[in-house]
């Protein structure tokens, strides 16, 4: 039995903009997905999406290492919902790549795993930036930029403000990430450029801790609404959060028709943290009815499990 796990990611900033060469700040959380693989001729039934990922990754491994992959079975167990903006397909792609390479006794570093797993992401999303996969593979908090489809530049950053965050469910998006990327692609070019320029400025402010995160989240949300990736229902939920004293935004591709996936909101001040401006929600208990999930940032990326 081979077991690998990878974290859920959040986009603190830069979702969608990152597809167009703008920076994103992404962090690996403490919620994890575990994939268990065993050699077996009996197949387990997987969703169409997982089957697509499997095919693409098997093809990439066979091509690169000139090996034959024996029949195998996988089981996926996730602490976070899939298809809700938390990088589920990236986590499946990374863990499956890690597990298959171990089964084949191929030694590969994280960069090689990333390159192969990216084929899984591409099979699902069409033209992903690769930022989800970078966060779930390498972990930590990354400043990420896609310069060209093949050249991604990223480095680990430390957020100086002690940011407390939580996730609230706005409902599973009807659209896939690929469909949301395609929706954005249809927008007027100068409108897109303007929105992405503003989002880049916000990302720089967050990375350099030069502005209040509550204000940054509010402004980012306004731009994402203009981009058409935040549904009416989600906008209502976010304005309710704002009225209660907090701030929130989508944290991935979003969704337009119904839900926009898990949204990222300022959480309660946690013990031991220095009170610092509005890096936390002063009345977060008002949001208890939405069953918020408190998350930790900056966690470990892909790892082999016992």
Nearest to 9 by CA among 90, 69, 79: 90
Which 3 state secondary structure label does DSSP give 60?
helix
Q: How far is the CB of 219 from ligand MEV (least distance, A)?
A: 18
Q: How far is the CB of 2 from ligand MEV (least distance, A)?
A: 27
Q: How far apart are CA 226 and CA 12, in angstroms?
A: 18
Tokens representing 199? Answer: 């989002």
Q: How far is the CB of 196 from ligand MEV (least distance, A)?
A: 11
Query: Of the two residues 99 and 118, which places its CB atom closer to ligand MEV in the complex?
Result: 118
Neighbours of 14 (CB within 10 A): 26
Q: How far is the CB of 106 from ligand MEV (least distance, A)?
A: 27
Non-local CB neighbours of 256 within 8 Å, separated by 6+ positions: 173, 175, 180, 183, 228, 229, 230, 231
Query: Of the two residues 130 and 246, which places its CB atom closer to ligand MEV in the complex?
Result: 130
Are the CB atoms for 89 and 48 separated by under 8 Å?
no
Query: Of the two residues 201 and 304, which places its CB atom closer to ligand MEV in the complex?
Result: 201
Are the CB atoms for 74 and 99 separated by under 8 Å?
yes
Tokens representing 206? Answer: 């967050």
Q: How far is the CB of 142 from ligand MEV (least distance, A)?
A: 12
Strand order in the sheet with 293-295: 248-250, 262-266, 165-169, 293-295
Q: How far is the CB of 237 from ligand MEV (least distance, A)?
A: 19
Q: How far is the CB of 131 from ligand MEV (least distance, A)?
A: 5
Query: Of the two residues 50 and 287, which places its CB atom closer to ligand MEV in the complex?
Result: 50
Could you list the residues that contact ligand MEV (CB under 6 A)? 11, 15-16, 18-19, 85, 87, 125, 128-129, 131-132, 177, 181, 252-253
Whether the CA torsion 93, 94, 95, 96 is positive or negative: it is positive
Neighbours of 171 (CB within 10 A): 18
C-alpha dist (Å) from residue 86 to 51, 132, 208, 257, 283: 19, 8, 24, 19, 25
Are the CB atoms for 19 and 27 separated by under 8 Å?
no
């Amino acid at each position: 039995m081979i077991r690998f796990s990878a974290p859920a990611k959040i986009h603190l900033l830069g979702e969608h903009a990152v597809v167009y060469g703008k920076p994103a700040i992404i962090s690996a959380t403490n919620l994890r997905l575990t994939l268990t693989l065993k050699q077996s001729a009996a197949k387990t039934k997987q969703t169409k999406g997982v089957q697509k990922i499997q095919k693409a990754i098997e093809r990439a491994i066979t091509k690169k290492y000139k090996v034959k992959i024996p029949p195998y079975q996988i089981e996926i167990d996730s602490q976070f919902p899939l298809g809700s903006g938390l990088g589920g397909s990236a986590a499946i792609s990374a863990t499956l790549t890690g597990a298959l390479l171990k089964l084949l006794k191929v030694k590969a570093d994280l960069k090689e795993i990333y390159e192969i797993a990216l084929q899984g992401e591409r099979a699902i999303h069409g033209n992903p930036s690769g930022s989800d996969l970078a966060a779930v593979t390498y972990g930590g908090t990354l400043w990420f930029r896609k310069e060209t489809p093949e050249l991604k530049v990223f480095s680990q950053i430390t957020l100086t403000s002690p940011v407390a965050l939580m996730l609230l469910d706005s409902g599973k998006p009807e659209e896939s990430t690929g469909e949301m990327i395609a929706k954005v692609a249809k927008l007027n070019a100068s409108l897109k450029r303007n929105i992405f320029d503003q989002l880049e400025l916000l990302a720089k402010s967050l990375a350099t801790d030069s502005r209040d995160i509550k204000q940054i989240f509010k402004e980012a949300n306004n731009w994402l609404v203009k981009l058409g990736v935040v549904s009416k229902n989600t906008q209502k939920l976010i304005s309710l959060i704002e009225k209660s004293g907090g701030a929130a935004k989508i944290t991935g591709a979003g969704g337009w028709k119904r839900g926009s996936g898990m949204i990222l909101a300022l959480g309660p001040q946690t013990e031991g943290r220095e009170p610092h401006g509005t890096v936390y929600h002063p009345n977060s208990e008002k949001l208890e009815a939405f069953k918020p999930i408190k998350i930790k940032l900056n966690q470990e990326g892909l790892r082999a499990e016992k």
